[in-house]
Structure 1
Amino acid sequence: MGVNNVKIQWDKQYLKYALYGSFAIILSVIFYQILDNIASLLDSISDGFLWVRRMLSPFIIGAFIAYLLNPGVRWFEKKLYSRVVYISERKTLHRLISILTVYIILISFITMLIVFVAPQINNNIREILRRVPEYDRITRQWLSNWEKEIGVENLYDFAEHIEKNSKEIFDKTSQVLEYILNNIFVSVMTITSGVLNFLLALIISFYMLSDKEGFKVGGEKFLRAMMKDETVDRIKDFGREADDLFGKFIIGKSLDSFIIGVLCLIGLKIMNIRYGLLLSTIIGVTNMIPYFGPFIGAVPVAIITFFDSPVKALWVILFILGLQQFDGLILGPKILGNSVGLRPFWIIFAIVVGGKLAGVLGMFLGVPIFAIVRLLVMRFIDRQLERKTMEKLEKNQV
């Protein structure tokens, strides 16, 4: 008896549905597993980024140092050493001497801060901490006298409420100052990933400055190999504008704040104000924050001075207001000009958003970063409008 060969006829429609169903089940399982393990996956990604950042931190810091020092190197090359015939005729020597000059200035400045400025600020903070109980007692006494003089002992218990909380306020202030005092050097070490990383970053920045043209040429070749020439040209134009905007703001604002800090120190010394170096440092550092910086710095300066002498505190406030007017009307425009091209509303917006996202550093960097984002958006809008205009012209011609 012969066995009949049975040929199975597959329905292609059923096979397609079966494959779709299998894929759907497999994808659902994969998606569920990803959701179930998303915390560990995010931790792994975060650990990977941290590892890469630690490994590349000397290069990141070195690139940042080179970026900040580049305008100084360029100035010495073009304005000073170009006038010395022997140096200007030797390109390598010209660049080397310019870089060494900037590094000598930088290292001298850092040494001066460590040897002269930091110990005095440290002593000022320690003395303020020692006098916190005295400040607390003065505040309580002043509130009590004020309460009796205006006759509000039984009205709202306002002074009593402040007295109850004054001790807590001073205790928290002491804790903040102690934290700053005990962790300032630790924080610096953390930011630079230690002294070794910082020294390595200085060496890397030296070579970046020495061969900055080589890096530019190499980067441009890579971009032209990956993109259209028109796109690369647009990126170069945008990069030049962003660099000009960001560099002018960072370096200009730093120079402006340094001058304001020095002028403030001179003024406080003339008025014989205690803790002059610490207070002028606060004014100089907070001046880095546009608009809000002067007010942020004036508050602690006025409070600290008030406990020594209310009259001197009033003179200090008037002096700081005058100094800020000088900065806003004369010094700032002279150094910065219209470096970011933002209206006051957008500057305040950038400061508030930057502060929410990254604290004090965000308040400072928010303005130039927002200005760069604005530049990018405006370029995109201009290209879109230009394209629409061209399309209209082509339609009209047809």
Structure 2
Amino acid sequence: MTAEKQMRVWLIGAAVFIALLFLLRGVLLPFVAGMGVAYLLDPVCDRLERMGLSRTLATVLVMAVSLVIFILFLLLLAPLIVSQFLDFLAQLPKIVDSLRAQVENLMALLRDRLDPETLSQLRESLRGSVSSGVAWMTDLLGGVLSGGVALINLLSLLFITPIVAFYLLRDWDVMVSRVDDYLPRRHRDTIRELVRQADETLAGFVRGQAAVCFVLGLFYMIGLVALGLEFGFVVGLLAGLLTFIPYVGSLTGLVLSVGLAIAQFDEPWRIAAVAILFFVGQAVEGNYLTPKLVGERTGLHAVWVIFALLAGGALFGFLGVLLALPVTAVIGVLVRFGLQRYRQSALFGIEDEAESKKAEGGM
């Protein structure tokens, strides 16, 4: 088979795969989530195997411990999160009214210093910003409740994902070996190396970024609760979770917490303390946590991560968010491989450069 025919076969296969992914996106969520769980827990099972346990026993032990941790989380933290979330929804109109009152007070202070036209434009701009923010939050909550966390999706995640994860985790090495047997003989070593690089990139980013999310979420939760901010626990948890998307977590937490602080506190120093908390968290993340826990070896730039998550969510919903990082890691490895081959090819001009140097040496 010629190279052109091989390329045609691979392109047709990729197009069929993407089409099936789009058509079946409504039922693939628990399977993709289970695959992600198995991928993250596979190194733990491998370590237990090296300690003398069978693969089945190691899988049972790892899944049992993971389920116990998850159930403890639901029993201990879920009631508090749900309670604060419902209280936040109930008090949202009061918070909006309080923010509007603060805006009116600010307008009163500026009335004597600005001309009427500028003051009117500023008032309309602030009112529009508050209304847009409330509308955005309402649409976001409505989308979450009607889409990604709908009842049937939630039930499938809770009950089907652990089953899928167990069987995939138990047979992970066997499946990898089977796939390896079907690799084209001519390109097997190259494909293995590319897969190894993609695995290192993805594992380094996901595990490192998960550690960053945990540390920052704990920092924000403790800090906001200590400052006495109402709903500080939920805001800190949300900021920590969204830290998985670079810069989005801290920015979202800053806007929400400062808005709540303005509506709740009368003392300016407490509002400033809430803002300073997030600036400190961002500084610690950028200068210490991310370099130490994630590092630069992943090759995933923050801009590409944000774009991949947003594009995946827009195309495939929550399923696309789960697939965004693996796909980005693979694309990044393929692009670097292509650029490396390009620099070694005649198209880059390396042969012409070598001939030029040889000609200069002969003169």
Classify the TM-score, shorter chain.
0.7 to 0.9
Residue ranges of structure 2 left out of the alignment (5+ in a row): 1-16, 359-363
Partner of 1:376: 334
In the alignment, the residues of structure 2 paired with residue 274 and residue 319 of structure 1 have an alpha-carbon distance, to the nearest angstrom, of 15
Please report how far the alpha carbon of residue 355 of structure 1 lies from its aligned counterpart in structure 2 after TM superposition. Answer: 2.5
Partner of 2:10: none
Q: Helix, strand or coil: the match of 2:77?
A: helix
Partner of 2:174: 214
Query: CA 1:126 to 1:184, structure 2 compared with 1: closer, same or farther past 3 Å?
Result: farther
CA deviations on 1:125-163 (whole Å, 9 max, x unpaired) are 222233233223323332333223231473431354257
Query: 1:66 aligned to 38, 45, 52, which one?
Result: 38
Query: 1:96 aligned to 49, 56, 66, which one?
Result: 56
Query: 1:158 aligned to 114, 118, 121, which one?
Result: 121
Partner of 1:16: none
Contact preservation (8 Å) 2:240, 2:249: no
Query: CA 1:188 to 1:66, structure 2 compared with 1: closer, same or farther past 3 Å?
Result: farther
In the alignment, the residues of structure 2 paired with residue 376 and residue 210 of structure 1 have an alpha-carbon distance, to the nearest angstrom, of 29
Q: Which has the higher relative contact order, 1 or 2, with Cα contacts under 8 A spaced 6 or more apart?
A: 2
In the alignment, the residues of structure 2 paired with residue 358 and residue 177 of structure 1 have an alpha-carbon distance, to the nearest angstrom, of 13
Please report how far the alpha carbon of residue 381 of structure 1 lies from its aligned counterpart in structure 2 after TM superposition. Answer: 3.2
Please report how far the alpha carbon of residue 57 of structure 1 lies from its aligned counterpart in structure 2 after TM superposition. Answer: 5.9
CA deviations on 1:16-46 (whole Å, 9 max, x unpaired) are xxxxxxxxxxxxxxxxxxxxxxxxxxxxx99
Contact preservation (8 Å) 1:246, 1:369: no
Please report how far the alpha carbon of residue 258 of structure 1 lies from its aligned counterpart in structure 2 after TM superposition. Answer: 1.3
Contact preservation (8 Å) 2:213, 2:241: yes
CA deviations on 1:193-250 (whole Å, 9 max, x unpaired) are x43x753442232222223222122112222xxx2x3301111111111011112211
Partner of 2:310: 355
Q: Does 2:107 match 1:135?
A: no
Partner of 1:258: 214
Partner of 1:21: none
- Between the two proteins, what is the percent identity of the paired residues? 21
Query: 1:322 aligned to 277, 280, 303, which one?
Result: 280
Amino acid at match of 2:310: G
Partner of 1:172: 135
In the alignment, the residues of structure 2 paired with residue 51 and residue 356 of structure 1 have an alpha-carbon distance, to the nearest angstrom, of 17
Contact preservation (8 Å) 2:48, 2:58: yes
Contact preservation (8 Å) 2:33, 2:322: no
Contact preservation (8 Å) 1:66, 1:208: yes
Partner of 2:271: 313
In the alignment, the residues of structure 2 paired with residue 118 and residue 180 of structure 1 have an alpha-carbon distance, to the nearest angstrom, of 21
Q: Does 2:74 match 1:111?
A: no
Contact preservation (8 Å) 1:287, 1:293: yes
Q: TM-score normalised to the size of structure 1?
A: 0.69
Query: CA 1:382 to 1:274, structure 2 compared with 1: closer, same or farther past 3 Å?
Result: same
Please report how far the alpha carbon of residue 374 of structure 1 lies from its aligned counterpart in structure 2 after TM superposition. Answer: 3.0
Contact preservation (8 Å) 2:102, 2:262: no
In the alignment, the residues of structure 2 paired with residue 71 and residue 367 of structure 1 have an alpha-carbon distance, to the nearest angstrom, of 19
Query: 1:233 aligned to 173, 189, 194, which one?
Result: 189
Please report how far the alpha carbon of residue 50 of structure 1 lies from its aligned counterpart in structure 2 after TM superposition. Answer: 6.1
Partner of 1:18: none
In the alignment, the residues of structure 2 paired with residue 387 and residue 178 of structure 1 have an alpha-carbon distance, to the nearest angstrom, of 52
Contact preservation (8 Å) 1:286, 1:293: yes
In the alignment, the residues of structure 1 paired with residue 171 and residue 181 of structure 2 have an alpha-carbon distance, to the nearest angstrom, of 16
Q: Helix, strand or coil: the match of 1:108?
A: helix
CA deviations on 1:340-372 (whole Å, 9 max, x unpaired) are 235xxx532552465356359778976664453
Query: CA 1:130 to 1:162, structure 2 compared with 1: closer, same or farther past 3 Å?
Result: farther
In the alignment, the residues of structure 2 paired with residue 147 and residue 99 of structure 1 have an alpha-carbon distance, to the nearest angstrom, of 63
Query: CA 1:369 to 1:111, structure 2 compared with 1: closer, same or farther past 3 Å?
Result: same
Contact preservation (8 Å) 2:239, 2:253: yes
Contact preservation (8 Å) 1:350, 1:370: yes
Contact preservation (8 Å) 1:265, 1:276: yes
RMSD between superposed Cα atoms in Å: 3.7
Tell which deviates more after alignment, 209-218 or 50-59.
50-59
In the alignment, the residues of structure 1 paired with residue 21 and residue 287 of structure 2 have an alpha-carbon distance, to the nearest angstrom, of 45
Q: TM-score normalised to the size of structure 2?
A: 0.75
CA deviations on 1:319-360 (whole Å, 9 max, x unpaired) are 121122222222222211223235xxx532552465356359
Q: Helix, strand or coil: the match of 1:230?
A: coil
Query: CA 1:131 to 1:324, structure 2 compared with 1: closer, same or farther past 3 Å?
Result: same
Please report how far the alpha carbon of residue 288 of structure 1 lies from its aligned counterpart in structure 2 after TM superposition. Answer: 0.7
In the alignment, the residues of structure 1 paired with residue 144 and residue 328 of structure 2 have an alpha-carbon distance, to the nearest angstrom, of 33
Partner of 1:125: 85
Contact preservation (8 Å) 1:62, 1:202: yes
Contact preservation (8 Å) 1:289, 1:363: no
